[in-house]
Amino acid sequence: MEYISQIAFLLVLAIAIFFLTRRIRTIKNNIQLGRKADRSDNKPERWKNTFLIALGQKKMFKKPIPAFLHLLIYGGFLIINLEVLEFIIDGIAGTHRIFAPALGSFYTVAINVFEFLAVAVLFSCVVFLIRRNVLKVDRFKPLAGWPKLDANLILVIEIILMLAILTMNATDQLLQGRDEHYIQTGSFFFSSFLIPLFENMSISTLVFVERFAWWFHIIGILAFAVYVTYSKHLHIFMAFPNTYYSRVEPKGKMKNMNDVTTEVKSMLGIDTGATSGEPPAEVARLGAKDANDLEWVSLMGAYACTECGRCTAECPANITGKKLSPRKVMMDTRDRIDEMGKNIKMGKPAEEGNPLFSDSYITDEEINACTSCNACVEACPVNINPLDIILQGRRFKAMEESSSPQSWNAMFQNIETSFAPWKFPPTDRFNWAKKLTEEK
């Protein structure tokens, strides 16, 4: 009988690891549907961005109040989970607070720090729930259905998990004075305020409450770890690789299309690096029709999206009433690659269904409204680049489907024939300067 608890814990842990591993493999395979892209350059700059932006949340502090609250949740998430290590060891070994005897008074200090962070996380989550559902911050208003429920659900789960920790510690402190099997740890400040709620309970009831809170917290943490991989809160983990692999070139530098560059060089007689007599490589699709035409970094960005809406709030097209929303672009991309991944699992072609750039996902009206200003890229707290996805979609529409707006096509034709957006011959380009000379 004494091993039932350990067996049950190992079973729960194994189930969590199984589902977590399977989901991680799915996400990895979906990201690898994208085109290859070399992001191995400038490693010092990449590591600097990772520490300052992903770990240090540098870009979050453009809005100090939500940034501070987010920092409390973020710091609490990282540090409180150190206690989960003790939970896991206790669950496997059948022990109770295994670190307490070895750490002594330092253990009491550590748990008090964890409790402070638990209260800070609880407070921040309550404030965020109020901001989303009572104050209704503008950038959250467009979210409805599952995205809205997901955000609220995560906040509620975090509140419950923090209350479970405080409940466990409060009942544990009472049991330390009544049951010799409970290790003496000293007083815990914050959970002490909950002791009056439990002090009239019997020892058996206290043991039940303490064990229930322990099991609830560890199962909640393991379930949360699996659930996060289906949630927008996947950015907790994906922010780090996404920031590391994000572009380090100036934001205004637009990436050329290698296939087009090679073709132009060949037409101009410039060496393209191809071996003499070697047939030209088959030209790949120009731009992107579907999610698998995008670079893998863009697909990873879709999973790293926090759905915070800072990109959309800064988008000048969106501000002026256009339908373009960079946040929606990233969410649509994520939905499409999830759909493509499911197609593959079912033995269907990945491209089955409506492509990414269609009325079902990202429409022509949305991508044509983009001014290419990079405001969304600058605003993103984890360095996601919605503009790259928009540009690739526009390139496909212009170069393969010729479905750009009529005024754009006229401009393209003028550039091709007259080397300028306006319809006049190149020989007349400097006529205005001749008139100035004649006036003198």
Q: Which of the pair, 50 or 254, is modelled with greater confidence?
A: 50
* % the chain with pLDDT above 70: 96
For position 327, what pLDDT does the model report? Answer: 96
Output DSSP code: residue 419.
S
pLDDT in tens, 29-49: 999 999 998 898 999 999 999
Tell whether pTM > 0.75: yes
Question: Number of H helices and number of E strands within the chain?
Answer: 18, 0
* 390-393 contacts at long range (C-beta below 8 A, 24 or more positions apart): 390/326, 390/329, 390/362, 390/366, 391/254, 391/287, 392/287, 392/288, 392/293, 392/294, 392/298, 393/287, 393/288, 393/356, 393/357, 393/362, 393/367
For position 78, what pLDDT does the model report? Answer: 79
The residue among 3, 16, 215 whose CA lies nearest residue 92 is 3
Look at residue 307 and tell me whether its pLDDT is greater than 90.
yes
